[in-house]
């Protein structure tokens, strides 16, 4: 129990009692203030300040690491060289064709062109042949009508023009073959037979009828034979 009042002390040199006022607990427990003493509040404040500083130091690296942009460890010169090489690769034009590649391409183009040309020519000739046969059927029908009226076929000389004059073709002109050439008409006396000929694509007399297996492209028509 603490008592307030005079406290009795003895001097260590003389052993005489020495009286001092104040509370013994206060005198014994209170730290001295002054130049050599330490203020507990200052200690507490200093400790809190130190802790704040330590927290700032600890937290600052992670904060900076979170928001700061990443930096490459490569030297600046090496990085620039990599960028230049990448740009050159991206902008580098494709090399020219070699001679072998050009020859292969030309051969392929020539083959394709030949195939296309053959197909086009063949299709055109087929269409002209179809037109030739259609016009020959028209002339055959007119010849039959003429024979029904006159009991004979028209003569060789000017026979087809005679049919046109009688309007047996349905038009004032004699039909032509698919190559825009005149048909040849032969009717030997006494005009009981005839032959109607188209000389085909080459326009020459090949000496026979292609429908009967003869060489060439001539097309012949007879009165007793249907045109294929």
Q: What is the pLDDT of residues 186-219, one digit of tens each?
A: 998 777 899 999 999 999 999 889 998 899 999 9
The residue ranges of every structural domain in the chain are 109-221
* pLDDT value at residue 194: 94
Asked if the model's pLDDT at residue 107 lies above 90, the reply is: yes
Contact assessment for residue 179 and residue 200, using Cβ atoms and an 8 Å cutoff: yes
Instruction: Classify domain 109-221 at the CATH class level.
Output: alpha beta
Distance CA 120, CA 77 (A): 65
Q: What is the pLDDT of residues 120-147, one digit of tens each?
A: 878 888 999 999 999 999 999 999 999 9
């Amino acid at each position: 129990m603490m008592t307030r009042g005079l406290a009795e002390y003895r001097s260590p040199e003389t052993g005489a009692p020495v009286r001092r006022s104040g509370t013994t607990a206060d005198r014994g427990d209170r730290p001295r203030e002054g130049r050599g003493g330490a203020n507990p509040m200052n200690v507490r404040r200093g400790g809190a300040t130190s802790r704040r500083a330590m927290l700032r130091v600890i937290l600052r690296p992670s904060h900076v690491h979170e928001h700061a942009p990443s930096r490459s460890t490569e030297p600046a010169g090496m990085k620039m060289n990599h960028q230049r090489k990448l740009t050159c690769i991206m902008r580098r034009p494709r090399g020219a064709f070699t001679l072998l590649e050009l020859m292969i391409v030309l051969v392929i183009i020539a083959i394709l062109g030949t195939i296309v040309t053959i197909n086009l020519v063949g299709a055109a000739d087929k269409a002209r042949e179809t037109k030739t046969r259609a016009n020959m059927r028209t002339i055959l029908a007119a010849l039959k009508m003429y024979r029904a009226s006159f009991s004979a076929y028209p003569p060789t000389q000017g026979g087809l023009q005679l049919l046109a004059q009688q309007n047996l073709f349905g038009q004032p002109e004699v039909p032509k073959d698919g190559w825009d050439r005149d048909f040849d008409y032969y009717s030997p006396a006494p005009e009981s037979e005839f032959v109607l000929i188209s000389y085909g694509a080459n326009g020459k007399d090949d000496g026979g009828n292609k429908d009967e297996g003869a060489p060439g492209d001539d097309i012949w028509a007879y009165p007793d034979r249907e045109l294929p």
